[in-house]
Amino acid sequence: MSTPIRADVMDEAVRLLAAATAAGITVRLIGGTAIRLHAGTRVELFAREIRDIDLVAGRGHGRRVAEFLESQAYAPNRTFNAMHGARRLLFYDEPNGRQVDVFIHTFEMCHVLPLGEYLEHTTHTVALADLLLTKLQIVALNEKDRHDSYVLLLEHEVGAGSEELIDAGRIADLCARDWGLYRTTQINLERLLSGLSASGLSEADQRLAAGRIGEIVTAIDATPKSVRWRARARVGDRVRWYEEPDEVDRGRY
């Protein structure tokens, strides 16, 4: 029997989501495929190869997702999945040399993001605010991550009530829960703002991105913080506030 996996990574990402929905399984995209789906007219900013597919599933759904991916002809990393399957799964598309990384409820890199909280309210990807935070939580933000962030900021207004809007309140809420996430997000929003002049964007797009960054900063600053958050803020950068993420078996392909 031939594999259902499609050679084009974007075609396969969309097919996989549709197959999961048909099977009654809720997963959403993050990473390069998710950003590409939201690139719209800014696709030229996203001129990079997408190598893998990254998914988020709800808490406790790891076993069902694993069974589903195997049914779709993906090969499991059995050792990794046995050790980490409650929070993360790893599968391979061997014919096309690709990897599928599945985060179970939480996305854990430099910071922990509860991406599984709103999966039922979106269609293909996690919420735009959460997707943007997967970039803003990166301590060593690189050019690719900056471009991805600009794509989202230019293609989507800041607001609430629609999955096509970046909910600044959601970003502010998560930053108010965790000073470390707040600090990294603050640094990266400043990086994005200061990098606009060298971004190659038109002056109009620079103003648009700057305005939306400003809206997010205002929301973050206006959100009440706990006593514990304020105590950690007083310690500041004297103590490391982030984790160094480990790459997982990327050498296979």
Asked whether the predicted pLDDT for residue 249 surpasses 60, the reply is no
Rounded (to 5) percent helix, strand, coil in the chain = 55, 10, 35
Residue 138 and residue 244: Cα distance in Å, rounded?
A: 10
Instruction: State what percent of residues in the chain have pLDDT above 90.
Output: 90
> Residue 217's pLDDT is what?
98
Q: Taking 60 as the threshold, does the pLDDT of residue 250 lie above it?
A: no
Residue in 137, 160, 153, 138 with CA at minimum distance from that of residue 193: 153
Average pLDDT over residues 1-5: 79
**Three-state secondary-structure class, residue 102:** strand
What is the average pLDDT across 131-142?
A: 97
Residues forming beta bridges with residue 98, ordered by sequence position: 93
What is the signed CA dihedral for 203, 206, 207, 213, rounded to 10 degrees?
180
User: What is the dotted CATH code of the domain comprising 1-123?
Assistant: 3.30.460.10
> C-alpha distances in angstroms, 37 versus 46, 52, 92, 106, 162?
10, 14, 22, 22, 16
Please give the average per-residue pLDDT across 82-107, as a whole number.
96
State mean pLDDT over 12-26: 97
Contact 107, 117 (CB under 8 A): no
Per-residue model confidence as pLDDT tens digits over 32-49: 999 999 998 887 777 788
Mean pLDDT of 197-220: 97
Quick one: average pLDDT of 58-62?
A: 93
* Full-model pTM: 0.94
| Residue 253 confidence (pLDDT) | 52
Indicate if the pLDDT at residue 213 is higher than 60.
Answer: yes
For residue 242, what pLDDT band results from cuts at 50, 70 and 90? very high
Mean pLDDT calculated for residue range 118-136? 96
Residue 55 has pLDDT above 60, yes or no: yes
Task: From residue 89, give the alpha-carbon distance in Å to each of 2, 64, 69, 94, 252.
Answer: 24, 11, 10, 16, 15
- Average pLDDT value over all residues in the chain: 94
Residue 248 has pLDDT above 70, yes or no: no
Q: Are 86 and 58 in contact (CB under 8 A)?
A: no
What pLDDT, on the 0 to 100 scale, is given for residue 44?
76
Domain with CATH 3.30.460.10 in the chain: 1-123
Token pair of 206 as six digits:
């620079």
Contact 91, 69 (CB under 8 A): yes
CA distances from 114 to 76, 87, 117, 149 (A): 24, 11, 6, 19
What's the confidence (pLDDT) of residue 84?
A: 94
Q: What is the per-residue pLDDT across 179-202, written as a single tens digit (0 to 9) for each?
A: 999 999 999 999 999 999 999 999
